Amino acid sequence: MGQNLKNCLIAHARELGFAVVRVTTPDRIGEAGARLRAFLAEGRHGDMIWMETTADRRADPRVLWPDVRSIVMLGFNYAPDHDPLSGLENPLLGVISRYAQSKDYHDIIKGRLKQLASWLAREAGADVKVFVDTAPLMEKPLAAAAGIGWQGKHTNLVSRTFGSWLFLGSILTTAELPTDEPEQDHCGSCRRCLDACPTRAFPAPYQLDARRCIAYLTIEHKGHIAEEFRIPMGNRVFGCDDCLAVCPWNKFARVSREIQPYLRLEASDAPLAEFLQLDDAAFRKRFAGTPVKRTGRDRFVRNALIAAGNSGQPDFVVYVEPLLSDPSPLVRAMAVWAAWRLTDQETFRRLRLRFAGNEADPVVRTEWERSPRAGNSQSHPVNARLTTADHQFIDPPR
Ligand code: B12
Ligand code: SF4
Ligand code: SF4
């Protein structure tokens, strides 16, 4: 009976567009809870305080729901039809991570999960709860325990059939379903993802310091972005795909048909000039229903200004200049940095004379105190890798 039910569940999940579905139990995430605590103790979650406050539930799904007996883990394929890193070499573009170039994946998956869970509840006469990154669960260790893939050295789940491009979702249930075996680690001696990271966010293989990750800096981080990360960010304005995209297991991935109807042209890589001109209303209109809306306009324009500063295109000053008097200090600070990177000494002095006197915000004032640069930004091409000449940098162990 259990296996029949599971077979029907798998068939039903496939009809709903899920690429893979496997089952585990809540007690199988091994070291993950302890490693989460170590991650939090090191402060690697930065200002994602919600990770701290929900740690007990994350570390053990039975704390979240004591009655849970089985966890159905599902993967939704979003493999791109082109190299997601192709925009990085064009300094006129702002690059948006592949996962954010469609309708918000929570919205794509949630309805399907609910349908599947209702079916399961009916057939099994069991209780169910549905989650897609919406509850304090450790989805990657659960997916690894269910055998969807393994956590690669970049910490994301890698699948032998879908590479790095799976969104994860889960159904918790009181039904006792037959479980699947975990997948083994197939990273071997490869370290491509570790070497590809522009900000050296991996203190060791299989560990991420979120505070250094461009996904965190551009999406989650609400404050000013520290100077050491600005040049390595290149023209990435929302998220980052570098460690995912270089994984050799992606060669087995099949371009996702399921994501096609949800792709949103307005959220694809686009001219930085457009991003720099967004006001609040235009931002909300452009990114409604996509993950990008999460940052709000000010943080997004902050990111776009960093990309402009890295562009080596003095022409961008025409878009940067109006932002020197933007109401948001986050925006003004990065406008000063971008102007400093893009202009010659005389122009920067002129701008400072015009704008710095009215500046009340201490952080923005500090940005204005920079010595004008000799020469212009041509010496810093877009996506230059970090060099000691650019920054004082504390090198994490490799
Ligand atoms: C917080 C979070 C982030 C944070 C922190 C990421 C992180 N790696 O922790 C930030 C904002 C940086 C982020 C970025 C991204 N995220 Co995110 N994120 C999450 C979230 C909400 C929680 C992850 C978590 O629990 N982290 C805490 C750490 C401690 O857990 P962990 O990563 O599993 O850590 C393991 C390893 O470090 C390892 N470990 C630690 N020490 C040691 C030592 C040894 C010896 C070994 C072997 C292992 C080991 O064990 C830990 C426990 O398993 C999940 C959704 C969810 N609810 O699970 C999505 C999720 C992980 N994110 C996702 C995605 C897509 C991304 C991005 C790709 C988005 C983008 N393109 O910009 C990037 C990828 C960056 C990266 N390299 O991880 C997907 C990943 C899908 C997949 N196939 O894995 C998830 C699952 C959301 C979803 N439902 O699809 N994310
Ligand atoms: S998402 Fe980008 S910045 Fe973050 S760990 Fe991966 S390569 Fe590094
Ligand atoms: S790039 Fe290499 S080391 Fe990184 S996850 Fe893929 S196989 Fe593992």
pLDDT digits (tens, 9 = 90+) for 235-265: 999 999 999 999 999 999 999 999 999 999 9
What are the φ/ψ torsions at residue 110 (nearest 5 degrees)? -55, -45
Strands 70-77 and 166-173: antiparallel
CA–CA separation, 186 and 47 (whole Å): 32
pLDDT at res. 373: 77
- Would you say how long the chain is, in residues? 398
pTM here?
A: 0.94
Number of the ligand 2 atom closest to the C-alpha atom of 155: 5
Q: Provide the percentage of residues in the chain whose pLDDT is more than 90.
A: 90
Report d(CA 125, CA 122) in Å as an integer. Answer: 5
Ligand 3, atom 2: nearest CA belongs to which residue?
190
Cα 7 to Cα 81: distance, rounded to the nearest angstrom = 31
- Look at ligand 3, atom 4, and give the residue with the nearest C-alpha: 193
> Which amino acid belongs to residue 19?
A
Ligand 3 pocket test, pick from 153, 162, 241 with the greatest ligand atom count within 8 Å of Cβ, gives: 153
**In the chain, domain spans:** 1-79+104-204+241-262, 205-240+263-379
Asked if residue 140 has its Cβ within 6 Å of ligand 3, the reply is no
pLDDT at 389 over 80: no
Nearest atom within ligand 2 for CA of residue 217: 3
Residues forming the active site: 133
Is the CB of residue 250 below 6 angstroms from any atom belonging to ligand 1?
no
Q: Give the ligand with the smallest distance to the CA of 212.
A: 2
Distance CA 103, CA 259 (A): 9
Per DSSP, the residues of 52-113 read HHTHHHHH-HHHH-TT--EEEEEEEE---SS-TTGGGG-TTEEEE-GGGSBS-HHHHHHHHH
Q: How confident is the model at residue 388 (pLDDT cuts 50, 70, 90)?
A: very low
Residue to probe by mutation, ligand 3, list 187, 202, 241, 398, most atoms within 8 Å of CB = 187
Average pLDDT of the residues of the chain:
92
